[in-house]
Amino acid sequence: MVTCISSLTCLTLLPKPLFNHINLIKNFTLLKNFKPQKSNFYSLMLSPKSLSSLSLHNCSDPKSYLQTPLASNDDLVILGIETSCDDTAAAVVRSNGDILSQVVSSQADLLAKYGGVAPKMAEEAHSQVIDQVVQEALDKAKLTESDLSAVAVTIGPGLSLCLRVGVQKARKLAGSHSLPLVNVHHMEAHALVVRLTEREVQFPFMALLISGGHNILILARELGQYLQLGTTIDDAIGEAYDKTAKWLGLDLRRSGGLAIEELAREGDAGSIKFKVPMKQHKDCNFSYAGLKTQVRLAIESKNIDAEIPISSASTEDQSSRADVAASFQRVAVLHLEEKCERAIEWALEMEPFMKHLQSLSACLKVVSGGVASNQYVRDRLDQVAKKKGLQLVCPPPSLCTDNGVMVAWTGIEHFRVGRFDPPPPANELEDARLDLRPRWPLGEEYARGKSEARSLRTARMHPSLTSMIQASQQEENT
Ligand code: KG4
Ligand code: ZN
């Protein structure tokens, strides 16, 4: 099933150009659809033909990640492709903030059947629809591949099997039409999409990214420079929502999180006294595994049978399930509130200028990721932000859950400052080794926020996006 989400009205957003990376790799600058301005355009201009003759560079080489900067008054059109988890998504976005198309094919039926994402099934489902989703995104935008300036694609974090489908498609399309590629970090895309819809969100800002696999608090200092204040030491909040929904026998097809949000409105949030996780830890890290266990035990003690769908349960049973949903949600979100409050304090200590922005009532706190589409979550975090004198900003719900717009927009942000790869070879082999980053931290860990429990789990991780960008900038300066 391919669901088309209608275009949203967007504000024009053209952040100031960053021209501090001028002396970089000069052998490639993309220039389709791009009208150079003499004053801020530096490089040799290559025709698409000569572009295609350039050799493919190694994407994991940080030097090659940073390329020649482009002008700001550009007219870029970027296709974004997202397949990191269970949604196959594509969108075409213009650099003035117009969303030309947005297409999402969700694997809701598979999710409902298996009660979670089964990687092999998810890969197959992506493979079946990827061509159709991308074509539909182009058709709805009334464009062809040759009208594009570049292709942006999520390369991590996520499930390798799933990432591979999107990356292969993006490389094939870019290779056969001589288009540059922008490799996108999924969580950065969640954090940046708000800059497309809310023009007042400038760096620095704080972001809470809450999804099925991630729970991250970051201080976004500038594009590509993120300080991780906290993360989860086990499960993310979305996982806890999904499991609670499954154990309560809810319909998972529109997402477990949404099902819990709706059911919780009918329940008594004070009826079950779950313990708020990590109260004794004075840091900004999260943990949802213990809360999941508490919920499972409560469900067992109430003899709730997940095999009986809630719609077929007795009235008494239905209200008992609603009480669990409401009590779970209250505590899951209280945990977010407590950690966010501390993170704001840390961020304000580190960045006194945030106080200045604060007095201008700028937006300093952004919440994104699937769970951020929850109205209860938004209302509670809005209170926390207000208490600290900040304003909470969230993307619209359709841009909180996984989508191609956030990938295209992040592609635009990086492309503008010259961070992109040249077109892949047109004849790249299907089984070429791809640069996929299933475990890829977004930012460097803030020392005060380090968790001992978590540091045990950092093996096999890719260096963070921030450290890669810093390394390339240092090379440039030496
Ligand atoms: O960002 P996302 O679409 O995919 C990942 O990157 O994980 O987030 C999916 C997560 C799922 O756990 C889903 O249950 C949760 O977001 N979610 C919600 C709501 N809508 C989606 N959680 C709570 N309330 C919602 N309304
Ligand atoms: Zn996501």
Q: Which atom of ligand 1 is nearest to the CA of 237?
A: 12
Ramachandran region, residue 158 (left: φ > 0; alpha: ψ -120 to 50; beta: rest) = left
Ligand 1 centre and the CA of 115: distance in Å? 14
Which residue's CA is the closest to the ligand 1 atom numbered 23?
Answer: 257
| For the chain, percent of residues with pLDDT exceeding 70 | 79
The per-residue pLDDT for 317 is 96
What is the CB neighbour count within 10 angstroms for residue 53?
9
Task: Please compute the mean of the pLDDT values over residues 407-425 and round it to a whole number.
Answer: 97
What is the CB neighbour count within 10 angstroms for residue 27?
14
Task: Please compute the mean of the pLDDT values over residues 227-249 and round it to a whole number.
Answer: 96
Ligand 2 centre and the CA of 87: distance in Å? 9
Give CA angle at 460 (456, 464), nearest 5°.
95
Ligand 2 centre and the CA of 53: distance in Å? 36
Which of 184-193, 299-308, 393-402, 451-460 has the lowest average pLDDT? 451-460
How far is CA 256 from each of CA 81, 259, 302, rounded to the nearest angstrom?
24, 5, 20
Higher pLDDT, residue 23 or 71:
71
339: confidence class by pLDDT, cuts 50, 70, 90: very high
Integer Cα distance of 8 and 98 in angstroms: 8
Which of 114-123, 162-171, 315-324 has the lowest average pLDDT? 114-123
Q: Which amino acid is at 408?
A: A
Q: Which atom of ligand 1 is nearest to the CA of 236?
A: 12
Residue 27 has pLDDT above 50, yes or no: no
Rounded to two decimals, the pTM is: 0.84
Integer Cα distance of 25 and 19 in angstroms: 14
Residue 17 has pLDDT above 60, yes or no: no
Ligand 1 centre and the CA of 372: distance in Å? 8
Q: In a 10 Å sphere around its CB, with 0-12 CB exposed, 13-18 middle and 19+ buried, how is residue 371 labelled?
A: buried
33: confidence class by pLDDT, cuts 50, 70, 90: very low
Phi, psi angles (nearest 5°) of residue 97 = 100, 0
Sign of CA dihedral 372, 129, 235, 405: negative
The per-residue pLDDT for 473 is 84
The per-residue pLDDT for 51 is 30
Ligand 2 centre and the CA of 287: distance in Å? 18
How far is CA 37 from each of CA 46, 71, 91, 218, 278, rounded to the nearest angstrom?
16, 7, 28, 35, 54
Q: Average pLDDT, whole number, for the chain? A: 82
57: confidence class by pLDDT, cuts 50, 70, 90: very low
Which residue's CA is the closest to the ligand 1 atom numbered 14?
Answer: 257
Q: Which of 211, 216, 330, 379 to mutate to test the pocket of ligand 1 (most atoms within 8 A of CB)?
A: 211
Q: Which atom of ligand 1 is nearest to the CA of 158?
A: 6
Ligand with smallest separation from the Cα of 377: 1
Which residue's CA is the closest to the ligand 1 atom numbered 3?
Answer: 401
Structure tokens at 376: 């209860």
Ligand with smallest separation from the Cα of 213: 1
Task: Please compute the mean of the pLDDT values over residues 345-351 and round it to a whole number.
Answer: 86
Ligand 2 centre and the CA of 311: distance in Å? 29
Q: Which of 188, 401, 406 to mutate to test the pocket of ligand 1 (most atoms within 8 A of CB)?
A: 401
Q: Which of 88, 104, 252, 371 to mutate to test the pocket of ligand 1 (most atoms within 8 A of CB)?
A: 371
Structure tokens at 200: 């007042």
What are the pocket residues of ligand 1 if the criterion is a CB atom closer than 6 Å to any ligand atom?
A: 85, 211-213, 238, 241-242, 255-258, 261, 369-371, 373-374, 401-402
Ligand 2 centre and the CA of 190: distance in Å? 7
